Amino acid sequence: MRRVLWLVAILFFSGNLSAQTEGTGYWTYKEYMSLHPEQRQKAATFSAMVRADAVPEQGLKKTVKVAVVYPGKQVSDYWWRSVSSLEARLREHNLPYEIYPNFTEPGVDLRLQEKQIAQALETDPDYLIFTLDAFRHRSIIERIMARGRPKLILQNITTPVRAWGDQQPFLYVGFDHALGSSLLSAKFVKIFPPKTQYAMFYGTQGYVSAMRGGTFQMESEMYGQAQVVDSFYLGFNREKSKQAALKTLQKHKKLPYIFACSTDIALGIIDAAKELGRLDDLVVNGWGGGEAELQAILKGELEFTVMRMNDDNGVAMADAISLDQNGKSALVPTIYSGDMILIEKGMEAHYLQELRNRAFRYSDHWRTKTDQVVTFDGQK
């Protein structure tokens, strides 16, 4: 009976998540795979390729131009590690390249991003790596898709846009936000009693906040009847998150938990908890499991987080580019969704180090200089 009820709950959640993504104009990863069953084996084979060592190519003389526009100016190391692992993997493929990396503030620099994209297009790149968070991003992307060049790789999104139908970008790549927040919600429900009150700290008003925060709230209400008593949009900004947490914790003096949609937000909440002497009785989650979060876990400041196998996103992009340059673009799936693991305070340091070695297998040894063109001629 219990198993039947659990299955009903899962189906109910799936239906609600589908309704949520339909309202925001996206297919979930599972929905897209159901609509395109030929993608399942392609994605599985490609994922195995990403986890394995690179196979160097021979005889590729053409230099591939890659333009990157990322919201990388934040504490989270996800974005620079993405470029570092992309570059390191391209070198392993022995693929000559030029990379034009551009890093901006998250959420607030849309005009600067538009300017950087325009400048990047002037170099006539073969690939443009960008993200899709705010609504204005869609119009930029649609204009580029209409041009037919460069090929688009959309980073940090694994849910295809419904309106684009069968005319999708070359590759969606990232770590599924809904799945990650589902892991966090399951931990929250396990720790806290039913009807626990908590605050929700979003990033910017856009895709990432909706998928991370929305999924967590929906699941936590469904399984634990949890109640949101306060919420803020904080632009993935540490100082703004600290000030919001100070305000929230002074207003709700016994609040046991604040959900953080990102690393910077989590660290801002921790800053506030320290200032108020609440670090021991306030639970805070992270999102991503980068270096700053791992250190906070080891210090006992962060209760739990979902850890992405970070470098796999850059590896996936490099592998897709290599396949494409070798005339094997048919082997590239529409979506690559990387592996994630829930980690928590109290885990043994050697286990966390093993995960760290896997997650940062390239970027710990190779760091791209931001806002600087990088060239590799294929000679090692």
CB 155 within 8 A of CB 174: yes
pLDDT of residue 138: 78
Using a 10 angstrom Cβ sphere, with 0-12 exposed, 13-18 middle and 19 or more buried, the burial of residue 107 is: buried
pLDDT at 133 over 80: no
Q: Which residue matches tokens 């760091």?
A: 367
Residue with token string 């609509």? 35
CB atoms within 10 A of CB 372: 10
d(Cα 219, Cα 234) in Å, to the nearest integer?
22
**What pTM, to 2 d.p., does this model score?**
0.87
Q: Which amino acid is at 278?
A: R
Residue 349 pLDDT greater than 50, yes or no: yes
In Å, what is the CA distance from 237 to each residue of 195, 204, 208, 258, 274?
29, 9, 14, 15, 18
pLDDT value of position 139: 79
User: With 70 as the cut, is the pLDDT of residue 13 above it?
Assistant: no
Give residue-wise pLDDT tens across range 296-316: 999 999 999 999 999 999 999
**pLDDT tens for residues 63-85?**
999 999 887 566 678 889 999 99
199-255 pLDDT, tens digit each: 999 999 888 999 999 999 999 999 999 999 999 999 999 999 999 999 999 999 999
Q: Assess whether pLDDT exceeds 60 at residue 108.
A: no
Those residues whose C-beta lies under 8 Å from the C-beta of residue 180, and which sit 6 or more positions away, are: 212, 287, 306, 308, 340
Please, which pLDDT band fits residue 148 given cuts at 50, 70 and 90? Answer: confident
**CA distance linking residue 283 with residue 304, whole number of Å:** 9
Percent of residues, the chain, with pLDDT higher than 90 = 71
Q: State residue 20's pLDDT score.
A: 45
Q: What is the mean pLDDT of the chain?
A: 88
Residue type at position 343? I
| Predicted pLDDT at 134 | 57
